[in-house]
Amino acid sequence: MFVAYAIVGLLLTVALLFSAFAKLTRQKMIVEGMTAVGVPLGMFPFLAACEIAGAAGLVIGLWYGPLGLAAAIGVVLYFIGAVGAHLRKSDFKGLPNALVMLIIAAVVLTLRALSL
């Protein structure tokens, strides 16, 4: 289970870092998608910091399991919020991306929990 966690966790880490970079550089597609669901531009740095912290926790969690578990829980909660924001605004165009990330985060959480 640990090897599966390492692989999927590192893939999720890369995705989180790309997403954080897109928020910090305010790439047009991200800005349009997130402002459409009501996220103010002022929240972008905070959300990017949450993603960076989650990514760091997943990587450190390779060596210290409880931190990896906590980071995975945090990432799952983050994407539950993202899915909820899309559903609240009936934004079905942006929903699949958030839903896929939620599913991957849930898989990482499950794998980390099983590999402790």
How buried is residue 106: exposed, middle or buried, by Cβ count under 10 Å (0-12/13-18/19+)?
middle
- pLDDT at position 65 is 96
Rounded Cα distance between 66 and 78, Å, is 18
pLDDT tens-digit series, residues 10-58? 999 999 999 999 999 999 999 999 999 999 999 999 999 999 999 999 9
- The answer to whether residues 14 and 52 touch, using CB atoms and an 8 Å cutoff, is no
Angle (CA) 59-109-63 rounded to 5° is 30
Q: What is the pTM of this model?
A: 0.95
